[in-house]
């Protein structure tokens, strides 16, 4: 199929982009990599009357470290995956990006586009939620910072207003003592994950879990953070038994979809199996066994 008619506007500045969004409101869509928006337009599931192309906005195309780690919205997946700055500060991001589609998709798709698209099976929303990342959005009204857990509000839905554009993602530099793990299962390499898990674990000086983050994809309309399981892990001696008990707590609160890709029971089982692997990997990295 082909998309409906639309006006195509190209801009090289964020100020002009947000002005166009303010002028056209819900009728306008931002396009960068186009890996999600173009297929939706071709299927007539999205029918914007104005496309605002921000590819020339160079200020959004860099990774920076200035206390925090900042990823510009126009950074391509492949650039972020290969970034030495990111790999040093937040290696879980680079690892998770290797699961995104295929190299051709990662070479074109953007960090900001993936975040704004908000697919509940996607890797970035899950990892950014686990990292307590902040999404920065701009409009003619100014800048707004939104915690990732509050940004993703539903299936392909965010708290982004119609006149706002994502400009960057901010994350704290990886703290000493924190380890990470990321696992996902898909039917074929490059497919969307049936279930994914991002885990972060911090060890204390008694070799116990000081803090933890556990976030699932593919089990709800948004990335699902398992707060009760995180609380159950704190202060525990790490290991398979403690992880399984925490994951049993998490599984009871999960309400995954039941569709042609897998039943709810199957997704819940995957969440516990992958969750244990991710937590074990995070623990080994936090305790220095696998730096």
Residue 291 lies in a domain: no
Q: Is residue 2 part of a domain?
A: no
CATH number of 214's domain: 3.30.390.50
Four-CA torsion 158, 160, 163, 167, nearest 10 degrees: -120
Structure tokens at 85: 């700055």
Q: Residue 253's CB: how many other CB atoms inside 10 A?
A: 12
Q: Which residues contact 10 (CB under 8 A, 6 or more apart)?
A: 53, 55, 56
Given 147, 172, 197, the domain boundary residue is: 172
Total residue count of the chain as it appears in this document:
291
28 and 79 belong to one structural domain: no
How many structural domains is the chain composed of? 3
Residue with tokens 């890996």: 35
Digit-by-digit pLDDT tens for the chain (291 residues) are 788 899 999 999 999 999 999 999 999 999 999 999 999 999 999 999 999 999 999 999 999 988 899 999 999 999 999 999 999 999 999 999 999 989 999 999 999 999 999 999 999 999 999 999 999 999 999 999 999 999 999 999 999 999 999 999 999 876 667 999 999 999 888 888 999 999 999 988 888 999 999 999 999 999 999 999 999 999 988 888 999 999 999 999 999 999 888 899 999 999 999 999 999 999 999 866 554
Say if 104 falls within a structural domain.
yes
- For residue 266, being part of any structural domain is answered with yes
Question: Is the domain of 97 the same as that of 161?
Answer: yes
Tokens of 109: 């798709």
In a domain, 1, yes or no: no
Containing structural domain, residue 17: 7-53
**Same domain flag for 198 and 230:** yes
Residue with the two structure tokens 């038994």? 241
CATH of the domain at 130: 3.30.465.10
Final residue of a domain: which of 172, 196, 212? 172
């Amino acid at each position: 199929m082909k998309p409906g008619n639309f006006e195509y506007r190209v801009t090289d500045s964020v100020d002009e982009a947000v002005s166009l969004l303010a002028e056209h409101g819900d009728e306008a869509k931002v396009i960068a990599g186009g890996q999600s928006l173009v297929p939706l337009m071709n299927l007539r599931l999205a029918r914007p009357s104005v496309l605002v192309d921000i590819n020339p906005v160079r200020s959004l195309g860099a990774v920076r470290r200035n206390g925090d780690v900042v990823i510009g919205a126009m950074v391509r997946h492949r650039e972020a995956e290969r970034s030495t700055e990111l790999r040093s500060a937040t290696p879980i991001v680079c690892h998770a990006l290797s699961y995104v589609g295929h190299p051709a998709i990662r070479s074109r798709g953007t960090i900001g586009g993936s975040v704004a698209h908000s697919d509940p099976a996607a890797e970035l929303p899950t990892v950014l939620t686990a990292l307590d990342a902040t999404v920065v959005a701009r409009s003619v009204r100014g800048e707004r910072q939104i915690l990732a857990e509050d940004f993703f509000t539903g299936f392909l839905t965010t708290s982004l207003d119609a006149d706002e554009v994502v400009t960057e993602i901010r994350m704290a530099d990886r703290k000493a003592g924190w380890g990470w793990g990321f696992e996902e299962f898909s039917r074929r390499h490059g497919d969307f994950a049936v279930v994914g898990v991002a885990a972060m674990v911090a060890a204390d000086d008694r070799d116990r879990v000081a803090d933890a983050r556990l976030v699932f994809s593919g089990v709800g309309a948004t990335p699902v953070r398992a707060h009760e399981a995180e609380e159950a892990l704190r202060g525990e001696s790490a290991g398979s038994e403690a992880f399984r008990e925490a994951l049993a707590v998490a599984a009871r609160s999960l309400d995954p979809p039941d569709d042609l890709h897998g039943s709810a029971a199957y997704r819940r089982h995957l969440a516990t199996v992958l969750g244990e692997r991710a937590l074990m990997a995070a623990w080994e990295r936090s305790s220095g066994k696998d730096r």
